[in-house]
């Protein structure tokens, strides 16, 4: 399976290159790596950039300069991701989307562009997180609105969107378990005289600081007890390995929209 990685010099881009290098034995190869025009990394070998053995793939500033590929893995930004998706759709490839922060219009555009493309879209590619999402939905089916539901997340100071895509995925899993729509019950901020907590609402709290890779917690709180489902990431490699695993799985699937629950056989 031949892979292109966009945003190659970013935090996740570098992890993805390492993950592909580790997966060479599984038949995965790097067909290309890109960065925005003018980036310092452009023109450098993708492996040497990370202090690894050279991989023989130079980082370019355009997808058209990459070799033929089966799957593109994208952890960039919404506008860039949409551009990359158009390239994928035009070149009969598959796409693994790890980019978050899309607004409703951008999400609709992405869905339209990739309508006939094998695509995995997930807020988080960690196997552990996706197991947690499954557990949260199961818990919500049992712990009804008598249990106050809260989602907590913490990330590094450079993260630009909030709540995180993973926190929103947790909220959606929780809402699905209760048979409600997240947008109808979500409370994203509290300030001033807010009044008593509305029964059935799902609250979110956000921390940004330092180099936190990703902490997430779903809480079900009653007067007599509190149940928590936690996930703490200590290394971004866990996301990169999951994305490569998704790409391997996706390379054998027909056109359609999938998520990590599909990849892991949890549905």
Termini Cα distance of the chain:
25
pLDDT of residue 101: 87
Q: For position 266, what pLDDT does the model report?
A: 87
> What is the layout of strands, in order, in the sheet containing 148-155?
186-187, 202-208, 148-155, 214-221, 226-233
| Cα radius of gyration rounded to whole Å, the chain | 19
Please identify which of the residues 44, 157, 158, 159 carries the catalytic annotation. Answer: 159
Distance (Å, whole) CA 75 – CA 115: 19
Choice among 44, 84, 155, 231 that is catalytic = 155
Q: Which two tokens stand for residue 68?
A: 């033929």
Asked if 20 and 70 count as a contact pair (C-beta separation under 8 A), the reply is: no
Q: Are 2 and 31 in contact (CB under 8 A)?
A: yes
| pLDDT tens-digit profile, the chain (267 residues) | 999 999 999 999 999 999 999 887 688 999 999 999 999 999 999 999 899 999 999 999 999 999 999 999 999 999 999 999 999 999 999 999 999 889 999 999 999 999 999 999 998 899 999 999 999 999 999 999 999 999 999 999 999 899 999 999 999 999 999 999 999 999 999 999 999 999 999 999 999 999 999 999 999 999 999 999 999 999 989 999 999 999 999 999 999 999 999 999 987
267 counts as catalytic? no
As a whole number of angstroms, the distance between CA 77 and CA 98 comes to 9
CA 105 to chain centre: 19
The domains located in the chain, with CATH, are: 2-121+236-263 (3.40.50.720), 127-233 (3.30.360.10)
Q: Give residue 256's region: left, alpha or beta (phi > 0; psi -120 to 50).
A: left
For residue 201, the SS3 value is coil
The whole model's pTM is what? 0.83
pLDDT at 267: 78
Identify whether 155 is a catalytic site residue: yes
Which H or E run contains 186?
strand 186-187
pLDDT of residue 25: 66
In angstroms, rounded to a whole number, what is the distance separating the alpha carbons of residues 124 and 165?
7
What are the helix and strand counts (H, E) for the chain?
8, 12
């Amino acid at each position: 399976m031949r892979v292109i990685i966009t945003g190659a010099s970013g935090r996740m881009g570098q992890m993805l290159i390492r993950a592909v290098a580790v997966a060479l034995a599984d038949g995965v190869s790097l067909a290309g790596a890109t960065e925005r025009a003018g980036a310092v990394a452009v023109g450098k070998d993708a492996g040497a950039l990370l202090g690894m053995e050279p991989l023989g793939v130079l980082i370019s500033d355009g997808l058209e300069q990459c070799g033929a590929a089966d799957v593109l893995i994208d952890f960039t930004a919404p506008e860039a991701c949409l551009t990359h998706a158009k390239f994928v759709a035009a070149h009969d490839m598959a796409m693994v989307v790890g980019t978050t922060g899309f607004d409703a219009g951008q999400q609709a555009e992405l869905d339209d562009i990739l309508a006939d493309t094998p695509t995995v879209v997930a807020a988080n590619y960690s196997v552990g997180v996706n197991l947690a999402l499954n557990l949260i939905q199961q818990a919500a089916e049992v712990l009804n609105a008598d249990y106050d539901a809260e989602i907590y997340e913490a990330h590094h100071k450079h993260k630009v969107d909030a709540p995180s895509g993973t926190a929103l995925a947790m909220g959606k899993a929780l809402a699905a378990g209760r048979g409600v729509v997240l947008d109808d019950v979500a409370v994203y901020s509290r300030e001033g005289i807010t009044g008593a907590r509305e029964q059935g609402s799902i609250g979110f709290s956000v921390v940004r600081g330092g180099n936190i890779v990703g902490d997430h917690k779903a809480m079900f709180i009653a007067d007599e007890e509190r149940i928590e489902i936690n996930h703490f990431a200590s290394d971004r490699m866990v996301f990169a390995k999951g994305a490569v695993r998704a790409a391997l799985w996706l390379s054998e699937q027909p056109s359609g929209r999938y998520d990590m629950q599909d990849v892991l056989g949890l549905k």
